[in-house]
Structure 1
Amino acid sequence: MSIPPLLTGMLPVNQQIFRLLRQDIVTARIPPGVLLSEKEISSRFAVSRQPVREAFIKLAEAGLVQILPQRGTLVVRISVSQVAEGSFIRQAVECAVARRLAAQISPGQLLTLEHNLQQQQLAAQNGQADVFLQLDDAFHQLLAHFAACTLAWQTIESIKATMDRVRFLSLDAVSPPELLIEQHAQIVTALQARDADASEVAMAAHLQEIGRSVLEVARHNQDWFIN
């Protein structure tokens, strides 16, 4: 079976399809209300229906779609309550990660974070929203990795798809990249000072941004949201 350029041999096909469809939904290329077809997606990626079906199940677990027997797989609207619950969990986990990292971060790790911030600034200046969001994720993943809390990031990644949809919609005006970069920089400054309290406060302030932005974004995109 030939695999189109979008797919590689690096990961199982179902995982790759899941990630690509997740990205399309998060970045609004596939809006709420669209019915995804196993047949159409399998044709798009030149694969059998089985890995597509498995990808749909993972998308449903991430809260992005609802599988409707005999009808298709529906891209669901964004749940404000689900965003709030996920934000609460993420803040609890990542604030603890920040406190832990403040006590042990190395000069080399700080340099890596600063390089990531520079890349974020370039992406923002070039209007590359997709790239910025990837670098944003990489920043938080690095924090967890440096704190030896890899499982913490895996937990966050499994619940944040709905939050990511809000993050993308808020980038234009509600929570622009420049604001988020400044918040990231404040986290790095606190870590550099090895100040656990300041690191936690900076992280909390950053992650509370999603709670503020979701209400504003929902007001401007009412058809995309449910309570």
Structure 2
Amino acid sequence: MSIGIAQQLGPSEGLGPIGLHVRKIIEERIVTNVFRPGERLSENDLAELLGVSRQPIREALIRLTEAGLVRVMPQRATIVTRISVARVNSARFLRAAVERAVVREAALQAKPHHIAQMRALIREQTTAIREGDHARFLALDDDLHRAFAVSMAHEGVWRTLQNVKLQMDRVRYLSLPDATPASRLIRQHAAIVDAIAARDPDAAEAMMQKHLEELLSSLPRLVARLPEYFDSCDVA
């Protein structure tokens, strides 16, 4: 049953070519594991689901192939890739290097209104977890990390990380609520913001490193619990 592309788009997604909108919808469903690793995707089914022709679906799948989220087998099928542990670890390494630098600068440059916004986002995260809304928690997590970059006038740095962290995001959605306690993440967020407010770049950097290392402990547990979701070539 067609649900129509317009019904899938939020208010900020109404601009740009339809292929971009289609890609964003499919990408989100892969990242959030609505479309699961190893699942076959049909151009016809996706076109019917989203209420578009096959052409924007085909264009979107090409882009998602480049991003490593799907694998196209000519004349056979398009398959959601299994999560590559190696790519997840590479993304975490790169993200940690960039975001450590970001919070160092934020500790020197963030204005009081930036810090107030960060604290407000953490409060919203606490509410989301209290209400059991884990998807909202993760969306707010992205908003908070974007706020770190905005506070030092480099929002483009966060945008640059978006494609890099896609595989990492797939793990993030798998890890809540079981593998990584949200309360721990919120405490870490608060400690980062406290360090920024205290103008302590060393403490902000150290806490960001610790925060992003959570993946190192949760990832092996997820691989053990959901081996079918991960690329067997990466799993010892």
Amino acid corresponding to residue 6 of structure 1 in structure 2: Q
How many residues align? The count is 226
Report the counterpart of residue 133 of structure 1 in structure 2. 138
Report the counterpart of residue 184 of structure 1 in structure 2. 189
Residues 86/3 of structure 1: CA separation in 2 closer, same or farther (3 Å cut): closer
Report the counterpart of residue 97 of structure 1 in structure 2. 102
1:49-83 CA-to-partner distances (Å, cap 9, x unmatched) read: 22111211222222211111112211011111111
Report the counterpart of residue 84 of structure 2 in structure 1. 79
Structure 1 stretches lacking a partner, 5+ long: none
Give the distance between the partners of 1:116 and 1:61, measured in 2 at CA.
33
Report the counterpart of residue 57 of structure 1 in structure 2. 62
Amino acid corresponding to residue 212 of structure 1 in structure 2: S
Report the counterpart of residue 152 of structure 2 in structure 1. 147
Corresponding position: 1:17 with 2:22:
yes
Match runs of 1:23-62 below 5 Å: 23-62=28-67
Give the distance between the partners of 2:24 and 2:182, measured in 1 at CA.
23
1:129-179 CA-to-partner distances (Å, cap 9, x unmatched) read: 111111111111111121122222122111111111111111122112211
Percent identity of the aligned residues?
40
TM-score (ref. length: structure 1): 0.94
Give the distance between the partners of 1:17 and 1:72, measured in 2 at CA.
18
SS of residue in 1 equivalent to 2:109: coil
The alpha carbon displacement at 1:46 in A equals 1.3
1:183-223 CA-to-partner distances (Å, cap 9, x unmatched) read: 11110010000101001001111111112211111111111
TM-score (ref. length: structure 2): 0.91
Report the counterpart of residue 6 of structure 1 in structure 2. 8
Is the contact between residue 38 and residue 72 of structure 1 (CA under 8 Å) also seen in structure 2? no
Report the counterpart of residue 226 of structure 2 in structure 1. 221
The alpha carbon displacement at 1:6 in A equals 1.4
SS of residue in 1 equivalent to 2:7: coil
Corresponding position: 1:114 with 2:119:
yes
Instruction: Calculate the aligned-residue CA RMSD, in Å.
Output: 1.4
Give the distance between the partners of 1:3 and 1:63, measured in 2 at CA.
24
Give the distance between the partners of 1:12 and 1:194, measured in 2 at CA.
43
Give the distance between the partners of 1:57 and 1:21, measured in 2 at CA.
12
Report the counterpart of residue 159 of structure 1 in structure 2. 164
